[in-house]
Structure 1
Amino acid sequence: MGEALHEVSLTVNGVVRQARVPARRLLSDFLRHDLGLTGTHVGCEHGVCGCCTVLLDGAPVRSCLTFAVTVAGQEITTVEGLAGPDGEPSPVQRAFAECHALQCGFCTPGFLCTVTALLRDNPEPDELHIVEGISGNLCRCTGYQNIVKAVGRAAELAREGGEGTA
């Protein structure tokens, strides 16, 4: 007899999605393998690097440390859900591109989700708050200077456009 499967239904990027999964299916695997949303990256698989960060009811969480069954009924926003309904990049996405805040791009989805929540909670962060806010995400390529600049620029873009950061 195989492992018991559990029906998991949650809202992902504004759409109710569901799948039958084992109790120990990680949210990162649920998103990538069961739902086909491959924008969420898995790096260290220990919650250290932040590549797998998604928004759970608006709060950044490590999807590689979260069981899918524990978030049933909740709302998840992945990097695929950050753009506007018309596909227009969010201020955070625009700022990361404008400020060259990525190189290989592997860590970028986690940074984008983290920064989206950071700017929602603190729309005008100073450099110290930015550095502290992104400290849970690792990047092996950039040296962080352009990422810090991009967070500041995203805050400016959001204020200029009178829009939120998501």
Structure 2
Amino acid sequence: MPGFNVTQALFPSSDGTLIYAEAIGNKNLPAIVFIHGLTLTALVWAHILHDARLLEYFYLVAYDMRGHGRSGKPLTMEGHSSKLYADDFAAVSKGFGLKSPLYNGWYVIRACTVAADITTYLGPKAISGIIWTAPMPTTCHWYDTCHMPKLGLHVDHH
């Protein structure tokens, strides 16, 4: 994306595990933090993080969850507790100076449980909203019309 460089960082979580994160865009805009699904990494969001339409309105952040990609890989079950997943989010948020960002999770179970971890351990004000991203098309009738004018999106299958 012309004008924006990706900032890459490793932030220590509460147990010392290093969490790899990257951010792009204008820090003064509202932030969206992208959380990948099980067995994936932040690379799954690479195309979205460079979307000019999103960068016009949001500061975009993604990170590799503990045990994945470029983040630390705890070897014990205790290293994968709900509180630590919340602490990882807090470390990334603090590291990039985020205040109550939007949470965008890969729609499968992992992202759902991490959202619950965050609001349970950090409180409901840790995030300003939740977005579930479906990684595959759906054939559900309720999805036939989708309208999001602020992002310039409109899909009508009729």
User: TM-score under structure 2 normalisation?
Assistant: 0.29
> Which is strand-richer, 1 or 2?
2
> Which is helix-richer, 1 or 2?
1
